[in-house]
Structure 1
């Protein structure tokens, strides 16, 4: 089994492909809009604490 990917590594990959903060925010908004359960699951997989996940998901 491979190493677990964390938030910092994921954000680093986004930045490596040219996403800025606004684009990452839009990505999260679209993910939340299209698949809220999947978005929650993804944030849990990344190890994001629930309070932070709620902020990322827009106060859900």
Structure 2
């Protein structure tokens, strides 16, 4: 039996929120947002574990060259391109203003935890 998207989302929301708090009017979006936050937190924890393991293995390990860019490397590249701290701040402001969800995802992809992401987004908000 194939479920349509709406049925799947309602079942997902019911499972995530629990039947006693499930409400069709907005809970699907709420459940998805909560799950996205949880996934970003898990990803940040995995990134931190990965950095720790790579650090224990020593620098320039082949696993470091798998396409993942961390905060330090990102900042170095921006600095090499002539973007100073004030420029990076303006960049974060524009990113937060124009695409807040994508900004959040980008910061999480760098391995930042939710607390640090929230701080950067708060500083980038007008």
Q: Give the gaps of 5 or more residues in structure 2.
A: 1-64
Give the TM-score normalised by structure 1: 0.90
The answer as to 2:66 corresponding to 1:2 is: yes
What's the TM-score, normalizing by structure 2? 0.45
Structure with the largest fraction of helix: 2
Task: Note if 1:23 corresponds to 2:87.
Answer: yes
Q: Look up the SS of the partner of 1:22 in the other structure.
A: helix
The CA deviation at 1:26 is 0.3
Structure 1's consecutive aligned runs of 4 or more residues displaced over 6 angstroms after TM superposition are: none
Once the two structures are superposed, what CA deviation does each residue of 1:12-57 show, in whole Å capped at 9, x if it has no partner?
0000000111000000000000000000000111101111111110
Q: Compute the RMSD of aligned alpha carbons.
A: 1.7
Gaps of 5+ in 1: none
Looking at structure 1, the residues matched to 67 and 89 of structure 2 have their Cα atoms a distance apart, in angstroms, of: 26
Q: Tell me the matched-pair count.
A: 60
- Which has the higher relative contact order, 1 or 2, with Cα contacts under 8 A spaced 6 or more apart? 1
Structural mapping, 1:1-60, within 5 Å: 2-58=66-122
For 2:85 and 2:119, the matched residues in 1 are separated by 15
- Rg larger for: 2
Query: Equivalents in 1 of 2:76, 2:113: separation in Å?
Result: 19
